[in-house]
Chains A and B, each alone.
Chain A
Amino acid sequence: MTGFRWISLFQVLLLLALFAIWHILTRTEILPPFFFGEPLVVLEVIWEWFSGGRIYKHLAVTLIETILAFVIGTVAGLVVGLWLALSKTASQLLDPYIKAFNSMPRVILAPIFAVWFGLGIWSKVLLGVTLVFFIVFFSVYHGVREVNPVLVANARMLGASKRQLLRYVYVPSATAWVFSSLHAAVGMAFVGAVIGEYLGSAKGVGYLILQAEGVFDINTVFAGVLVLTVCALVLDRIVTIAERHLLRWRPGQMGSQS
């Protein structure tokens, strides 16, 4: 426990040190502040955003897009992953399409989505969904494929029907795989939202960043990146808490319960 505290302390110190170095390098103009920004100004921008209330509208939009993309992409990935893993015909039929979609640089779709769905939130959500979906899909697909066949045999001997196998064996044993992918998925949902906003929107933190870039206000760009990073960390933390709760049966999870 004390070891854990020390690590947290050093993590904070490291962060402060990085800010200090950034501050010194830009203040002494070893790094030109015009391109690298100034940490104190960046913090000031953030403070004004929150105290003046200007940020909330934009942050809310970005978070809604992110969460929608995360939830829709995850659910779709789960359902399709389970379906394809358990149906040989479907997986054989769709295999080349899945591979093609997955290897396609999907960020390129953003302008197309903007044309199809306009500049509102749905074009951003859809971009996020395409990113999140494949991460979750592949982990569910592998999770189900990796199910211990002895567990399946045992459940069948205990009287499980096909449907019960899904609920009592496949889904729980894929859960561990899914959670490992959800961390990556949270990040990707953010990427989808912000890139979408960046490429065309009237609201959102990505839009703020775009505007600031337009007038070479590098400090505001950094402020936006910082705010997004903190939000991503918070969402990741929520995933971790859910993971601890749902995967408490795993070896090595016991200590972290309290």
Chain B
Amino acid sequence: MTQTALRLDDITCTFPARGGSAYCAVANASLAVGEGEFVSLVGPTGCGKSTLLNVAAGLLTPSAGSVEVFGAALTGMNDQAGYLFQSDALFPWRTARENVMLGLELRGTPKRRAGQKADAWLERVHLAGHGDKYPHELSGGMRKRVALAQTLILDPKILLMDEPFSALDVQTRSLMENELLELWSQDRKSVVFVTHDLEEAISLSDRVVVLSAGPASHPVGEFPINLSRPRDVSEVRLTPQFLDLHRTIWDALKVEVQKTHAKESA
């Protein structure tokens, strides 16, 4: 394999819980993502997927363990990474164009140039002509596209995505998944894609990592996905290899999902 873009080493995250006790969300989790690799993290709801992503982003300092970005220890924010959040993270007081150009503006790029680049990116995500609209005037899928352009305009080497399409309807969703693969294939960033949807994980990724149920969640299985690329996410789901992979990974995931269910109904 090529160089490692992101390495999480023996990460433990403990949160203060009610009553003075502590909740250990993630324990001794290690994960390495190669340069240009597309890795999905799947696991039951609440197991600690977002927590791990926040650690990788530098938004959350782990209680123990270390993070390496292209071989260098991470302190503070991870400036090599872009983050696509699960919930809406567009700035409602900025138009689509202003949202896309924000990162450049923060870096001191002259407004004119930033605006031109933003327009080019809006075109790449099929939103040419919508630049002057405010987020509340856009549909859910369009907002996700703006968010994608907002992140990608800074050309991060690592892309962290937290269930980015979970709020979209099924059609929009597979459309967006294909567009994501198309954009990704152009310059092969390293991607960590969090989802609770196994089909989505398999159809997008080079590798699927299964996390155990919380507390003290950590990877319990890794599955290389050797489906050929380029892929169409809805077509690939009908191939026998896909179904085989799905069965194998689901066997591992099912155990964890059932554990979570058992705990919730207890």
**Residue A150 at the B interface, CB < 8 A?**
yes
Enumerate chain B residues within 8 angstroms of A160, measured Cβ to Cβ: 106
Residue of B nearest to A176 (CB): B93
Minimum CB–CB distance for B147 against chain A, Å: 8
Enumerate chain B residues within 8 angstroms of A161, measured Cβ to Cβ: 106
A80-122 contacts to B, CB under 8 A, are none
Complex Cα–Cα for A175 and B94 (A): 13
**Segment touching B, from A34-42, A164-172, A182-190:** A164-172
| CB contact under 8 A between A157 and B82, given known A150-B87, A249-B94 | yes
Contact of A157 among B81, B88, B93, B137 (CB under 8 A): B81
| CB contact under 8 A between A249 and B106, given known A157-B77, A159-B154 | no
**Residue A26 at the B interface, CB < 8 A?**
no
**Residue A158 at the B interface, CB < 8 A?**
yes
B85 A150 Cβ-Cβ under 8 A: yes
Enumerate chain A residues within 8 angstroms of B92, measured Cβ to Cβ: 249-250
| CB contact under 8 A between A157 and B107, given known A150-B85, A251-B136 | no
Residue of A nearest to B103 (CB): A158
Q: Mark B143-169, 1 if CB is under 8 A from A, else 0.
A: 000000011001000000000000000
Complex Cα–Cα for A168 and B99 (A): 11
A153 B154 Cβ-Cβ under 8 A: no
Minimum CB–CB distance for A140 against chain B, Å: 16
Residue of A nearest to B95 (CB): A249
* Interface residues on chain B, size class: 20 to 34
B93 A158 Cβ-Cβ under 8 A: no
Complex Cα–Cα for A175 and B77 (A): 28
A153 B91 Cβ-Cβ under 8 A: no
Residue of A nearest to B91 (CB): A151
- For B81, B83, B106, B150, the residue with the greatest tally of chain A CB atoms inside 10 Å of its CB is B106
**Residue B89 at the A interface, CB < 8 A?**
yes
Enumerate chain A residues within 8 angstroms of B243, measured Cβ to Cβ: none
Minimum CB–CB distance for A250 against chain B, Å: 7
- For A157, A173, A254, the residue with the greatest tally of chain B CB atoms inside 10 Å of its CB is A157
A157 B106 Cβ-Cβ under 8 A: no
Enumerate chain B residues within 8 angstroms of A159, measured Cβ to Cβ: 79, 103, 106-107, 154
Contacts A/B (CB < 8 Å), 28 sampled: A151-B89, A153-B59, A153-B85, A154-B83, A154-B89, A154-B91, A155-B91, A155-B106, A156-B59, A157-B59, A157-B77, A157-B81, A157-B82, A157-B151, A158-B103, A158-B154, A159-B79, A159-B103, A159-B106, A160-B106, A164-B106, A168-B91, A168-B106, A173-B93, A249-B93, A249-B136, A251-B136, A254-B137
Q: A residues engaging B (CB < 8 A)?
A: 150-151, 153-161, 164, 168-169, 172-173, 175, 247, 249-251, 254
Q: B residues engaging A (CB < 8 A)?
A: 54, 57, 59, 77, 79, 81-83, 85, 87-89, 91-95, 102-103, 106-107, 134, 136-137, 150-151, 154
